[in-house]
Amino acid sequence: MIVVLAAMTLLTFVQVVLRYVFGTGLVWSLEATTYLAAWLVLVGMSYGVRTQAHIAVDLVTRRLPLRAAHGVTLVALGCSLGYCVLMIYGSTVFVERLIALGNDARDIPLPRWLLTAVMPFGFGLLAVRLLQAYRAAWR
């Protein structure tokens, strides 16, 4: 994630300098930055679950008895896991259709499916982390 964030920052800096100092620019930089941001977010989701860095809304669960709060946690993790399964399925269908179409990205000379394959990958990683969190909460 650090490498992707550094690449995004460097690419944006170079684009700004080229545009405002030299009056030119890189045609593909915006699209590359957009795909890099998607990779950062989709891989970063699982890292956030692993390190418990996501925002937790526990206003209600803190006021519940311990057993009820535990049940709410398990239901929330189950719903999140269900969402991951739906997103893995939908994004896999999307990537398969892009492979069948065989089109490239607009400004980057790479197949579009390769750049969007992070969707099922990222949600797969998130599902693994949610399963780990579910197992830990179950204990």
- Give the chain's radius of gyration (CA, Å): 20
Quote the pTM value.
0.85
For residue 111, the SS3 value is strand
Cβ atoms within 10 Å of 109's Cβ, excluding its own: 7
What is the spatial distance between Cα 135 and Cα 8, in angstroms, rounded to a whole number?
Answer: 35
pLDDT in tens, 37-87: 999 999 999 999 888 887 777 778 888 898 998 899 899 999 999 999 999
Per domain, the residue ranges of the chain are 2-138
Higher-pLDDT residue of 15, 58: 15
- DSSP one-letter code for 2: H
